[in-house]
Amino acid sequence: MGIVAGLDSSPDFTRIVVCDTDTGAVLRQGYAPHPVDTPDGAARPSDVDPQAWLLSLGEAAGGGLLEGVQAIGVSAQQNALIPLDAQGNTVRPAIVGGDRRAQVAAADLIDALGGREAWAQAVGCVPQAAQPVTKLRWLAKAEPENARRTAALLQAHDWLVWQLLGRPVRRTTDRGGASGTGYWSAAAGGYRSDLVELALGHQAMLPEVIGPSDAAGTTPEGLLISAGTGETMAAAFGLGLGFGDAVVSLGASGSVMAVHPEALADTSGMITSLADATGMHLPVVTTLNAVRTLRGTAELLGLADLESLSDLAMKSTPGSHGLVMLPYLEGERTPNLPHTAGTLAGLRRESMRAEHLARASFEGMLCGLADALDVLRGRGVEVRRIFLLGKAAELPAVQAAAPMLFGAQVVVPQPADYAAIGAARQAAWALGVSQGTLDPRTPPVWQGAAAQVLEPGDEMAVGQAVRQQFVSVREQTHPGAFRA
């Protein structure tokens, strides 16, 4: 069929992969940072001119990278909100990232609709500071004139697709991106425009949600542009996730997501019900503490890096000689304990050794993520295989403990630009459908990610004993934390 491209516009850079349409093999790659000034040591800016994303895209595509490409898919950072005026110009810079400014606005919105359960039933998630609906509420309160000028709303991948197509009258998005806005219901498959009005104070034009294999349009040069999607959905598509698969992502905070045939409404607010890039659903549970637990322990023990912490932890044994760490260092979202602190339990003379504390930090982090997995399993989500992502996934202490604590096969994919690959796979799907060679209900089958596969094996029982040790301490310290 030819070659297609996938571009991923992350918070910091643009990556482009050019792939063989039939196999998914990566043929060429491009990269460019976003030209956004961030002082050394400063946090990533919360306001970004989206033109920076276009400049980065142009640089990444330089040198003839896209020569011969027939279709492009776009993946981009989620939760970026681009308010447009009636002429299609940006009212203000895009509001990106977690944006702590919007925390009060999230609480306002929860109360305005009647509580967490009302939001969970309406759109499958409870407002968080990062979500576009919450940013709209902040905009209405903090910048009322800009709010009044706002006539249309786009997210990052919507805006990039629109620009690539030459800013046509029709603006589109996909289910995946729409499901993270806080004003589109994955269960109902439609917008809740009343929630836009609740947040912004008036209605605004929203992009048309098109199907996973639909094309957003064709450029004047004849290049097909697929629907695009958010980074999370694109990465899941690039990894080739299917039923029974879950992803545990190890960043400073953690997340667990799995493929499921239906949207899950969770009145506790622990599950965010997202749609994926194939027509299925991606329920997500997040934790506030993952790798930050390891970094804090390494600093406490005077170790230079996480590799040293891992080496030290491997000198201990499963269960850390009875030492248990509840890793709620920044408070916690799963379970919902926003104002708590971490706990170190089981201190005895024989457990007060550096290697046992190192091991307890790994086990505490992974048990916290196993709790998040159990939230999904408790709602009927099948988990047979777990993809473990993030640099920490390569640490020997993580790989030794994860299969036994998660109670499932663990797959550690080789590092790759999975979001960009997922965007390219979407482009190949849309291209094949347009040419009549692919079924609009069945995406192209591409070669799977090269990966290391870890089995729990004979240590399953040991892992479950360590998990029970963790759960006992959690229940003693925070009784009923997981009860609705």
Tell me the torsion sign for CA atoms 336, 339, 342, 343.
negative
Q: Please tell me the distance from the alpha carbon of residue 312 to that of residue 398, in angstroms, as a whole number.
A: 12
Mean pLDDT across the stretch 216-237? 96
Q: Cβ contacts of residue 36 below 8 Å, gap of 6+?
A: 12, 45, 48, 52
Backbone angles phi, psi at 268, to 5 degrees: -75, -20
**pLDDT tier at 38, thresholds 50, 70, 90:** low
pLDDT of residue 41: 54
> What share of the chain has pLDDT > 70, as a percent?
98
Backbone angles phi, psi at 424, to 5 degrees: -65, -40
Reported as a single tens digit per residue, the pLDDT across 384-415 is 999 999 999 999 999 999 999 999 999 999 99
Tracing tokens 């305005």 back to the chain, one arrives at: 112
Q: What is the pTM of this model?
A: 0.92
Name residue 479's amino acid. P
How far is CA 372 from each of CA 165, 281, 454, rounded to the nearest angstrom? 40, 17, 20
For residues 328 and 339, is the Cβ–Cβ distance under 8 A?
A: no
DSSP string for residues in 121-184: HHHSS---TTSHHHHHHHHHHH-HHHHHH--EEE-HHHHHHHHHTTS-S--EEEHHHHHTSSSE
Q: Please tell me the distance from the alpha carbon of residue 261 to that of residue 433, in angstroms, as a whole number.
A: 23
Q: Is 450 left (phi over 0), alpha (psi -120 to 50) or beta?
A: beta
pLDDT of residue 95: 95
pLDDT of residue 108: 96
Q: Please tell me the distance from the alpha carbon of residue 183 to that of residue 109, in angstroms, as a whole number.
A: 12
DSSP 381: -
Reported as a single tens digit per residue, the pLDDT across 439-477 is 999 999 999 888 999 999 889 999 999 999 999 999 999
Q: Please tell me the distance from the alpha carbon of residue 433 to that of residue 440, in angstroms, as a whole number.
A: 6
pLDDT of residue 218: 97
> What share of the chain has pLDDT > 90, as a percent?
90
**pLDDT tier at 83, thresholds 50, 70, 90:** very high
Give residue 166's Cα distance to chain centre. 29
Mean pLDDT across the stretch 349-370? 98
Reported as a single tens digit per residue, the pLDDT across 86-132 is 999 999 999 997 777 888 999 999 999 999 899 999 999 999 888 99
**pLDDT tier at 1, thresholds 50, 70, 90:** low
Reported as a single tens digit per residue, the pLDDT across 49-69 is 999 999 999 999 999 999 999
Mean pLDDT across the stretch 299-312? 98
Q: Is the confidence at residue 483, as pLDDT, over 90?
A: no
Name residue 255's amino acid. S
Q: Is the confidence at residue 279, as pLDDT, over 70?
A: yes
For residues 9 and 57, is the Cβ–Cβ distance under 8 A?
A: yes
Nearest of 177, 149, 46 to residue 102 by alpha carbon: 46
Q: Is the confidence at residue 484, as pLDDT, over 50?
A: no
Mean pLDDT across the chain: 95
Nearest of 116, 149, 9, 19 to residue 71 by alpha carbon: 19
Q: How many CB atoms lie within 10 A of CB 188?
A: 12
Nearest of 238, 224, 161 to residue 435 by alpha carbon: 224
**pLDDT tier at 438, thresholds 50, 70, 90:** very high
pLDDT of residue 72: 98
- Between strands 69-76 and 229-230, the pairing is parallel
